Structure 1
Amino acid sequence: MSRQIVLDTETTGLSAEGGDRIIEIGCVELVGRKLTGNNLHFYINPERDSHEDALKVHGISNDFLRDKPKFAEVADDILRYLEGAEVIIHNAAFDVGFLDKELERLGKPAFGSFVAEVTDTLRMAKQLYPGKRNSLDALCDRLGVDNSGRTLHGALLDAELLADVYINLTRGQEALLIDLGDLGEQGASAHRIDLSGFELPVLRANAQELASHQEVLLQIDKASGGKTVWRLSESGEGAKAGI
């Protein structure tokens, strides 16, 4: 089964190139699109203070981080855990940029060389919901993922939320995979069933349903200025217009 890791980081600021560092990394494992509980989480001593604006976002104090391991001390553990997996990140360019910079300091290859691929859920969301807000909070609201415990950003909590968001974003794909998987080898040799001998009943609308239908059409007529396509089709004008 495919192994996927949902990853998030917290940092001292917004610029990896400007010297900002990772202070927390959280990873959640999915195998066969199911949470396994085999997660990874580190607080990291960034060897510098967080910017004031960053502190307001993650709430992780400089004092709290002083006795935590440095990135160099946990890098091999992180890379072993991630090796060969598809890594799912929201706004991947940001996190990968920080990971690349940390690895560069250690003389190691870029992040992408350790993993099978990186999937950006922000890019996915923009394709699915163009023109809408696609932050993690916005996607949680849209997809019914409970984020009520997210008063501050935290790498492990955000990775757990993103795992739920990702599963919901790709649920249609999952259903297709299940349908195809259920066929298995049997599907290749399954006999077609001839349905031509079945007579399907026609259920006609009753008076109440017809009245409700007319009410809806009247509302659409009013809103469209009398240009309801259904009306045109009923009167035959739709056929003349090529509708």
Structure 2
Amino acid sequence: MKSETKSLFWKLFLTLGAWTLVLTVVQGICLYYLVARHTANKLKVQTDFISSQTEKLVAEMKNFPSSDELKALEKNIEKIETGIGLKIETMERDILKDLIPALKITSQKPYYISGRQIKCIYSIKNKGKYSANINNVKLYLSTAKIDSPEKIKEQLILNKDFYLRTNVNTEDLAPGEEIRHDLTIELTNPENIPGTIYYCVTFDAQTDPSIVKSVKNIDQEKITSKKFYYILGDIVTPG
């Protein structure tokens, strides 16, 4: 009896073990299937996304300019850059030109107001864009013809052969404004002066320094804000 019971127990134990093994295998297969299916679905989603993005990129690439169009675009950009460069150069040239004083000088022929006094009058008009200052006014006399202020021969000596009284405006001359300079020459020994003598008036003009300082983005060494002016002529003794 005990032997039969023991045999039945072992049969039951082996049967349960077999079923447990079968269930474990089935469970493993199901789990593998589920994992594989999830992975496959995920890969499919990713593949579909990549495919859609690729198709979109290909469609966009069809709208990209061709090599010829790119070359034409590059040439147009070069033309624009060249045009901008030329415009900047022109603007800079105009600014530099405007900073140079531009004066119109109108002079009267000097004349004797007495036996030893000579009147020399001239007017200065500012034709430039900015205010200019007139300074360093000088007058030279010579018994020889004067061709340029750099070369004056046979000069009469100031405060020895003649004296000079000046009535000049050294304030800034506004654009469009005109001033008059009145010079009186007094000869010390008019009897020793020949019938015709020659004169030269020189002065400097300078653009308002505050205007020059306000100019930006231009090399200061390129700026010329001063200009030298001169007047030449002769003085004829009356009679």
Instruction: Tell me the TM-score normalised to structure 2 length.
Output: 0.18
More strand as a share of residues = 2
The structure with the largest alpha-carbon Rg is 2
Q: Tell which has more relative contact order, 1 or 2 (C-alpha 8 A, sep 6+).
A: 2
More helix as a share of residues = 1
